[in-house]
Amino acid sequence: MKRRILGGTGISVSEYALGAMMFGAVANRDHDDSVRIIHRALDAGINFLDTADIYSAGESEEIVGKALKGRREDVVLATKAHGSMGDDDNHSGNSRRWITREIENSLRRLGTDYIDLYQIHRPDPTTDVDETLSVLSDLVRAGKVLAVGSSTFPAEQIVEAQWVSERRGHVRFRTEQPPYSILARSVEAAVLPTAQKYGMGVLSWGPLSAGWLSGRYTKASDIDLAGGGRAALEQFKFDPSRPENARKLEAVGELSKLASDAGLSLPHLAIAFVRAHPAITSVIIGPRTMEQLEDLLAGSEVELSADVLDRIDEIVPPGTDLNRADSYYVPPALADKALRRR
């Protein structure tokens, strides 16, 4: 497994990061099996693990903590805070009050006394970024966190955070974690160039676009909107009767043929595409089963030719999200009509 340096921190991380969102109640409920998957990933050369407090309400962090017993020093461990962890409004967000409390909860669940990369999971319009960076700086000085990053931040908020860090003397975000896949390329326009400008590492998530590029969907009837999976929970991203999703299905068909002509599986093509962007430090893979992990590991050395990359650009133009919902962030001014009216 090849390695790259994470955002000028000097920390060496594998080109694949193991995402732990699928471990716990949301997907794989078997703790022992999840631990085996983590150990297999580590044995294969992956040294970068990414989780979050909100994944299965803390259960994912607990599973990762079990897996890292006796192996903690060999792993670059990343987690996140922001999402709601209870009914109280103060049990979420990017405030000093919440982060000071939640870092202790994450350390306890993970069974460690420090986190290599602590990320703010989403922007918080109710909290001044100066407040957030101030508490993160205190955590770094206390040795509880070694580096900090953002996740799914728009380019303008990444820039604002960098400026605030410089002017106020805070630690700065060293990484950004955006969604990025062949079907969701909007980050190529501003987020990835901005990360490069500020020397930030990028650990991208969603390379298989919520399963669209897994090879599972080849026709509209493959999409089950009545079941209990992600397609049922997020129908606006899957319903093939919606024009944007019909376009995704059409693109998947073209990409499947391209992958076959190149002698690759569709997932291997999809992940190799993300790895090919010069801004990307590490691609987060999120297997639920050992079989899925083994398949993804088999494609870790795939390199795409210029001809294949050019053809991908023809199928999905650079900077394009075929479904805008796949950006996973809606600016407050668009989500709340009161912010657009006097």
Element (H, E) at 134: helix 129-141
Q: What is the CA 169 to chain-centroid distance, rounded?
A: 28
Q: What is the pLDDT of residues 25-62, one digit of tens each?
A: 999 999 999 999 999 999 999 999 999 999 999 999 99
User: b or e along 231-242 (b: 16 or more beta carbons within 10 Å of the residue's beta carbon)?
Assistant: beeeeebbebee
**What is the 3-state secondary structure of 232-300?**
HHCHHHCCCCCHHHHHHHHHHHHHHHHHHHCCCCHHHHHHHHHHCCCCCCEEEECCCCHHHHHHHHHCC
Q: What is the CA 313 to chain-centroid distance, rounded?
A: 22
Q: What is the pLDDT of residues 58-70, one digit of tens each?
A: 999 999 999 999 9
pLDDT at position 315, please? 98
Tokens of 112: 């460690």
For residue 203, name the pLDDT band (cuts at 50, 70, 90). very high
Q: Which residue in the list 55, 118, 180, 217 is annotated as catalytic?
A: 55
Mean pLDDT of 272-291: 98
- For residues 124 and 90, give the distance between their C-alpha atoms in angstroms, rounded to a whole number: 12
Q: Which of 179, 132, 135 is nearest to 154 (CA)?
A: 179
Q: What is the pLDDT of residues 188-198, one digit of tens each?
A: 999 999 999 99
The proportion of the chain whose per-residue pLDDT surpasses 90, expressed as a percent, equals 90
Any catalytic annotation for residue 55?
yes
pLDDT at position 332, please? 87
Q: The whole model's pTM is what?
A: 0.95
- For residues 199 and 23, give the distance between their C-alpha atoms in angstroms, rounded to a whole number: 31
